[in-house]
Structure 1
Amino acid sequence: MIGYERGTAEPEGSMDDPVLLQRFAAWLQPGPSAEDAERSVFFKDGVIVLDTNVLLSLYEYTATSRKDVLSALEQTAGRLWMPYQVGLEFVRGRRSTLESRKRALADAASEVNKKLMAARKAIVEAKKVVCAQLDKYARAQQEIAGLDALVADSGVDAHLDVYRHEFKRHLDMLKADHGLALNSADAEDPILKRIAKLYGENIGEQPDDDILRKRLEEATAFRFPNKIPPGFSDSDKETPLKSAGDFLLWEELIAHVRQLPPSGRRVLFVSNDTKEDWYEQGSGSSSSRPWPSLVDELRRRAQGDLRIETPPHFFGGVREFLDAELAADTYAEIERVSEAFEARVPDTPLAVTEETASHLDPPEGLALDAFNAVGLVSSAVRAAVESTSPSQRLFKWWLIGVTAQLGRRDAGETEPSVSIAAATRSSKPLSRDWVPGTALSPGEWLHRDSSWIAPWFIDLLDSIPHADRTILRRLAAQQAESNRRSGS
């Protein structure tokens, strides 16, 4: 389903039709298609409104596809209009979109490493099974020694490194092909500059506080409880302002259309969002379509015509009606990003970082599971993992993450991924306050001259008994080596 449209002068159907057919024409029309006769008018003469998720998708394309998409959008310059709500969400959402991509690639590298660590462990365990049988039934010490040599740490690692390096090469290619550094989300952001130039002055004004308050009250008290589109699917967000984002956009759009000349009140709205608060979900063999009530509401309140499309169909129209050039690979990527948006689970847990760990409590019992998984025994460390103090959250999250990363325990499906390191093997520290590995004695830390250790981890080691200190040091060193190999 790609959209829904109505005639430009009066409701579908002749004025000679019965009133019932006139009044509910939007509901009685068959599902639209890409061959709708009047579709081209929306591209050539309509106001084009891109939802926030369409603009943020520009940060998810490869550099080549992004260039093609921006060039295609230039064919619509002059007819693009940005509601204030979209602009606000766009400028605030750029950094999190970049961080999400960076985190996804880092998580992939970490997951690959976990799988390889699990493979290494499985090979060692398999060797033990064979050696046990050789010893029990043949006393074949020479053969046992041969297997021990074959599966020695360096031998297994050498074989796995072939896969590790190849997997890393592909992930590094993805990072390079993206073409945007995380710090490009500031005022020098090249995408932001291109978007600003595309829209020019065609950006909505910030609504007055009293208007905003009135719209919020209408959304939360009347429309959302009655599931009147758009936006009611977001009614459970943290605040009314966040819940009402789609409705605020919709109200701005209606107010804007009212100000246009009667002959120019066609709106082409483009969004990746096909949830039930925008689309009437089909049943049986029926496909979904944008809610006819949205078409009716725009006509009733602003005497305008509405068409709603997803990005793949919109860019197909740009290519067909505006003669924009879009390579086949670019169009395939537009489809991929759009499908990925639709497939996202709203409550998917985000990665926990050193910056966010202090604000988040781990799921109950998870830190204790990690404690037990690596054989920690001291009452001091156990007290730390069972503490509810915010000061212990960073350590607890690190322990949860490192035990999953190194394959010491199986991470649950709903468990957040953790991107926290206690040490690193590199020429430069991750932060200025990190301590060089030479702060620990040669017997306590390998690669002292090429290592850096987090200050919180140094403080932790100084406060716990020797047995657990040794376990935690080894975990940190193994994680640093694992990260170095995977390039994360």
Structure 2
Amino acid sequence: MAEPEGDMGNDPVLLQRFAAWLQPGPSAQDAERSAFFTDGVIVLDTNVLLSLYEYTQTSREEVLSALEQTAGRLWMPYQVGLEFVRGRRSTLESRKRALADAASEVNKKLMAARKAIVEAKNLVCAQLDKYARAPEEIAGLDALVADAGVDEHLDRYRQEFKRHLDMLKSDHGLALGSADAQDPVLARVAELYGAAIGAQPDDGVLRRRLEEATAFRFPNKIPPGFSDSDKDTPLKSAGDFLLWEELIEHVRHLPPADRRVLFVSNDTKEDWYEQRSGSGSSRPWPSLVDELRRRAQADLRIETPPHFFGGIREFLDAELAEDTYAEIERVSEAFDVDVPGTRLVITEETALHLDPPEGLALAAFQSVGLASSALRAAAESASPSQRMFQWWLIGVTTQLGRRAAGDAEPSVAIAAATRSSRPPSQAWIPGTALSPGEWLHRDSSWIAPWFMDLLEATPQMDRTVLRGLAAQQAEDNRRSGS
């Protein structure tokens, strides 16, 4: 008879076999999350390391200092090291090109403005000549918009715009030539990892892995990496899968007590994340969790850099200023923007550090008929303590069709309540804390602690609306499997 799997030994076999698929996905509030930071193996994807070249100098230093808190637990697959060393120059060149293109585009727009001013003057002069025969007025306008005069005025704007672009170059603190042997970022990363870097797979192993990726996994869309199958060569297409195979091989040789893997990546494409309908949220593919558990008897957690650095602050007491955290968010969001079909997803972790777009929470407030002045003040507040409520209200109103999301509006994956046999984390409150008249399915529901606090501070009329939204969201998520 098969042994019970994980800590679910008393559950039916069906629940054991598909445990990874039946879990809601990792939450920023998971009780077990801290162990991945304090005891696990931490693997940073190439895009996380290359992001170091995107930060301003001050933020880069804080991020590197925060990563030093994980020293001894970092491990770098050979594939990541290869992509990192080869990708540094193109990352710097891309930034330099973007700033140069911006300067060129600014100059083009100012030249277009100059042309428009001259054309506008000519139009007025033509009307003066046709209807008023006013040569003195025409001469005055000609003098006002003489070439030297227009250029002098526009030059003020040109110099100010140039000053800001030059400041961006200065704040970055890395010259293009620094992507060579004297690269200070490379030196810091090398110091962080020490000898904890995977060896290069031999040609036979590499060939077998490539064949498995291209002949079996990619055609069947087995994660990770199948979204890259159209790249120039099989070797480039299989980068994520080669990383994955290295990770599995490394972890399966570790002592059982060390077999926790925290994988950090900006990549949230469909070959890493299961794209889900309803709230628009997604989760790392359960099949990845299941494969690592099956092949290496190890637990897996996948996080984006904003979640990860939030965890470093929480569990390892690293100091990261709010400005630095905001820059981590921006760089991560920019990575998502470059991937067609993806957008920023606000979770419990990121909600604590990001202000909603101005007026969006109030629009959500009004869309469901909330009325109390206290709750309106919370929706309009700039206080970080209100961000969770504001983001939840923004997300739930779009999820339930109470209002249409804007084109650039982030997706929100925050639930105020859930229907399940187990709570998302130990802090969640059982539905029985509310009376039968207030909450249906009390015996199979769990309520987020922040939402319970919100209810207790809300007048009865709006309290009823909030409970209704939370209950409908929980039921919608249950039906959609979110």
Using the size of structure 1 for normalisation, the TM-score is: 0.68
Could you tell me whether the CA contact under 8 Å between 1:12 and 1:26 is conserved in 2?
A: no
Aligned partner of 1:27 in structure 2 is: 21
Q: Deviations over 1:395-439 (max 9, x none)?
A: xxxxxxxxxxxxxxxxxxxxxxxxxxxxxxxxxxxxxxxxxxxxx
Q: Secondary structure at the match of 2:320?
A: coil
Change (3 A) 1:10 1:56: farther
The alpha-carbon deviation at position 14 of structure 1 amounts to 2.4
Pair 233,93 (structure 1): closer, same or farther in 2 beyond 3 Å? same
Q: Distance in 2 between matches of 1:173 and 1:10?
A: 60
The match for 2:334 among 334, 340, 349 is 340
Aligned partner letter, 1:254? I
Q: 1:30 to 1:154 in 2, by over 3 A?
A: same
Q: Does the alignment pair 1:177 with 2:143?
A: no
Q: CA contact under 8 A between 1:13 and 1:21: conserved in structure 2?
A: no
* 1:364 paired residue number: none
Q: Which residue of 1 aligns with 2:455?
A: none
Query: 2:285 & 2:4 partners in 1: Cα distance?
Result: 19
Shift of 1:250: 0.3
How many angstroms does 1:139 deviate by? 1.6
In the alignment, is the contact (CA less than 8 A) between 1:228 and 1:277 conserved in 2?
yes
Distance of aligned partners of 1:306 and 1:200 in 2 relative to their CA distance in 1, 3 Å threshold: same
| CA distances 1:16-59 after superposition (whole Å, capped 9, x unpaired) | 21111110010001233111011000000000000000000000
Name the residue aligned to 1:118. 112
The residue matched to 1:269 in structure 2 has which SS?
strand
Residue 194 of structure 2 corresponds to 200
- Are 1:60 and 2:57 counterparts? no
Measured in 1, the distance between the counterparts of 2:294 and 2:202 equals 24
For 2:190, the aligned partner's letter is A
Cα deviation, 1:337-385, whole Å, max 9, x if unaligned, reads 11111111579xxxxxxxxxxxxxxxxxxxxxxxxxxxxxxxxxxxxxx
| Cα contact 1:50–1:82 (8 A) shared by 2 | yes
1:161 equivalent to 2:161? Answer no
CA-CA distance at 1:115 after TM superposition? 0.8
State the shift of 1:282 in Å.
1.4
Distance in structure 1 (CA, Å) of the matches to 2:235 and 2:71:
30
Distance 1:112 1:98 in 2: 21
Whether 1:73 aligns to 2:47 is no
Task: Kindly report structure 1 stretches of 4+ aligned residues shifted beyond 2 Å.
Answer: 9-14
Q: 3-state DSSP class of the match of 2:270?
A: coil
Per the alignment, residue 284 of structure 1 pairs with 278
Q: Of the two, which has the highest radius of gyration?
A: 1
Task: Give the aligned partner of residue 435 of structure 2.
Answer: none
The amino acid of 1:32's aligned partner reads: P
- Does the residue aligned with 1:268 lie in a helix, a strand or coil? strand
- 1:285 is displaced (CA, Å) by 2.0
Match of 1:100, SS state, is helix
Contact 2:223 2:285 in 1 (8 A): yes
Deviation at 1:147, TM superposition (A): 1.1
Matching residue of 1:44: 38
How far residue 13 of structure 1 moved from its aligned partner, in angstroms, is: 5.5
* Contact kept? 2:26, 2:301, Cα under 8 Å: no
Structure 2 counterpart of 1:330: 324
Cα separation, 1, equivalents of 2:122 and 2:280: 58
Distance 1:301 1:345, change over 3 A: closer
Cα displacement string for residues 168-189 of structure 1 (whole angstroms, at most 9, x for unaligned residues)? 1111111100001110000000
Which deviates more from structure 2 when the two are superposed, residues 30-39 or residues 167-176?
A: 30-39
Q: Which residue of 2 aligns with 1:151?
A: 145
> Which residue in 2 is equivalent to 1:256?
250
Amino acid at match of 2:45: D
1:46–1:266 contact (8 Å) kept in structure 2: yes
Find out whether 1:273 has 2:267 as its counterpart.
yes
Once residues 24 and 245 of structure 2 are traced to their aligned partners in structure 1, the CA distance between those partners, rounded to angstroms, is 27
| Separation of aligned partners in 1, 2:287 and 2:124 | 70
Unaligned runs of 5+ in 2: 342-482
Which of 83, 90, 95 lines up with 1:89 in the alignment? Answer: 83
Q: Distance in 2 between matches of 1:209 and 1:187?
A: 28
Give me the whole-angstrom Cα distance separating, in 2, the residues matched to 1:153 and 1:214: 69
Which secondary structure does the structure 2 equivalent of 1:76 belong to? coil
Amino acid at match of 2:324: T
Could you tell which deviates more after superposition, 78-87 or 147-156?
147-156
Greater relative contact order (Cα 8 A, min sep 6): structure 1 or 2? Answer: 1
Name the structure 2 match of 1:469. Answer: none
Contact 1:13 1:22 in 2 (8 A): no
One-letter amino acid of the counterpart of residue 289, structure 2: V
Change (3 A) 1:280 1:38: same
Q: 1:402 matched to which residue of 2?
A: none
Percent identity between matched residues is: 86
Counterpart pick for 2:223 among 225, 229, 238: 229
Does residue 190 of structure 1 match 2:184?
A: yes
> For residue 264 of structure 1, what is the amino acid of its counterpart?
D
1:283 partner amino acid = S
Aligned residues: 339
User: How far apart, CA to CA, are the structure 1 residues paired with 2:130 and 2:4?
Assistant: 90
Quick one: structure 1 residues 318 and 10, their matched pair in 2 at CA, closer, same or farther if it must change by over 3 Å?
farther
Contact 1:230 1:278 in 2 (8 A): yes
Quote the Cα distance in structure 1 between the aligned partners of 2:23 and 2:280.
Answer: 13
Contact 2:69 2:318 in 1 (8 A): yes
- Structure 2: distance between partners of 1:345 and 1:262: 37
Summarize the Cα distance change of 1:345–1:34 in structure 2 as closer, same or farther, 3 Å threshold.
closer
Letter in 2 for 1:129: L
Tell me the equivalent position of 1:320.
314
CA distance, structure 1, for counterparts of residue 124 and residue 240 of structure 2: 62
Matched-pair contact (CA < 8 Å) for 2:25–2:284: no
- Answer yes or no: is the 8 Å Cα contact 1:51–1:271 preserved in 2: yes
State TM-score, norm by structure 2: 0.69
**Native 8 Å contact 1:280 1:290 kept in 2:** yes
